[in-house]
Amino acid sequence: MRQFRRILDVLTELGYVDDEPSPTDEGLRLAGIYSEVDLLVAEALRRGLLDELSAAELAGIAALFLFEPRGGEVTLHPELPTADLHDVTEEVLDLADELRERERRAGVPPLGDLDAGFVAAAWRWASGADLDTALGELDLTGGDFVRNVKQVADLLGQLRSVGDSDLAARASSAMDGLRRGIVEA
C-alpha cells in the first residue's frame, strides 16, 4: 500500500491525478499507454517533444523508449540520422533523468536506462529501406529486428489512440512504414 501511495504522489505532483484522487485528462491519456515507460511517453507527449517529428522520426523515437540491447550494455555512440532525431533524443534522455530523480525522491523504483541503439534502424525501416540498409552496423538477428520493430509499431498504435489528429496521422503512417516485408512475413 505504501508503494502505491508513493506512485500516486508522483502522479499527483505531475498532474496525472487530482486530489480526489481521480485521473485528470492527462491521466486518462497515460492510462492509454501500455509500456514500462508509460509515464515517460506521456510526459514527452504532454511537453510536445514529439510534435515536430516526421512519421519515420516518430518511429525512431518510439524505438528509443523501448529498445533493450542483448547483454544489457547501453549503446555508447548511437547513430541519430537527422537533426530532429538527435535533438528529441537528447530531450527525452533529459526528461528520463528528471523523472528518475523525481521517482527516487518519492521512494519509487526509478525508470531504467534508455538506449538509442535502435533509433536509426527503426527510422530507416519506416522510411522504406531494405533490411540490410535498415540494420546498418547494428548487430541484430533477423528475429530480434522483427521483434523490435513490432514493439515499436505497437507503441505507435498506442500513440495513435491517445494523440491528437496530427499525431495519430503520423503514427499511422509510421506503422504502415514498419509493417512490411520481413516484419509481416
Q: Tell me the three cell numbers of residue 59.
A: 518511429
Query: For 32-76, what is each residue's pLDDT tens digit?
Result: 999 999 999 999 999 999 999 999 999 999 999 999 987 777 888
What CA–CA distance (Å, rounded) separates 16 from 116? Answer: 27
Examine the pLDDT at 185 and tell me if it is beyond 90.
no
Number of domains in the chain: 1
Q: Tell me the three cell numbers of residue 20.
A: 480526489
What is the amino acid identity at position 110? P
Q: Tell me the three cell numbers of residue 38.
A: 508509460
Is there a domain that residue 115 lies in? Answer: yes
Name residue, grid cell 500513440: 159
Is there a domain that residue 80 lies in? Answer: yes
Query: Are the C-beta atoms of 66 and 151 separated by less than 8 Å?
Result: yes
Mean pLDDT of the residues in the chain = 95
Q: Write down the pLDDT at residue 126.
A: 98
What CA–CA distance (Å, rounded) separates 35 from 94? Answer: 19
Reference 55, options 183, 162, 171; nearest CA is: 171
Is there a domain that residue 18 lies in? Answer: no
**Range among 110-114, 142-146, 172-176, 180-184 rated most confident:** 172-176
Q: Write down the pLDDT at residue 75.
A: 87
Examine the pLDDT at 79 and tell me if it is beyond 80.
yes
Is there a domain that residue 26 lies in? Answer: no
Is there a domain that residue 12 lies in? Answer: no
What sign for the dihedral angle of Cα 94, 95, 98, 100? negative
pTM above 0.85, yes or no: yes
First to last CA, the chain: 45
Query: Are the C-beta atoms of 160 and 168 separated by less than 8 Å?
Result: yes
179: phi > 0 → left, psi -120 to 50 → alpha, else beta; which? beta
Query: Are the C-beta atoms of 178 and 156 separated by less than 8 Å?
Result: yes
Examine the pLDDT at 93 and tell me if it is beyond 90.
yes
Is there a domain that residue 22 lies in? Answer: no
Is there a domain that residue 1 lies in? Answer: no
Reference 95, options 45, 29, 44, 57; nearest CA is: 44
Indicate which CATH number applies to the domain containing 177. Answer: 1.10.3380.30
Query: Angle at which helices 142-162 and 55-66 pack, to 10 degrees?
Result: 110
Is there a domain that residue 9 lies in? Answer: no
Task: Note down the domain range covering 91.
Answer: 36-183
Examine the pLDDT at 117 and tell me if it is beyond 80.
yes
